[in-house]
Amino acid sequence: MKKNLILLTGNELRHKYFASFLSTFKNINLKLTVHESNIKLKKNILYEKDKLIKKHVDLRNKSEIIFFKKFIKKK
């Protein structure tokens, strides 16, 4: 029996990959995926004022691109 799912998640690459990964399962019917924007993070005062937080976020984004690059379809 297939499970119907609606996924609410972020719009970072790892979240998009996860949604795509879920849709490959035979017993999962991904009805809807909503990717929420992460603009709030870069508007956060700590992102600009705290170098450690900024470095963490920027390195995480860079790592995602490197890791998930092989899964991105070239257009």
Q: What is the pLDDT of residues 10-63, one digit of tens each?
A: 888 888 889 989 999 999 999 999 988 777 777 778 888 888 988 998 899 899
Question: How many structural domains compose the chain?
Answer: 1
What's the burial of 9, exposed, middle or buried (CB within 10 Å: 0-12/13-18/19+)? middle
Residue 16 and residue 33: Cα distance in Å, rounded?
9
pLDDT of residue 72: 65
Please give the residue range of the domain that contains residue 30: 3-71
| CA distances (Å), origin 5, targets 22, 41, 50, 51 | 9, 27, 38, 38
pLDDT exceeds cutoff 50 at 75: no
Place of tokens 């379809």: 73
Distance separating alpha carbons of residues 22 and 17, to the nearest angstrom: 9
Residue 59: predicted pLDDT? 92
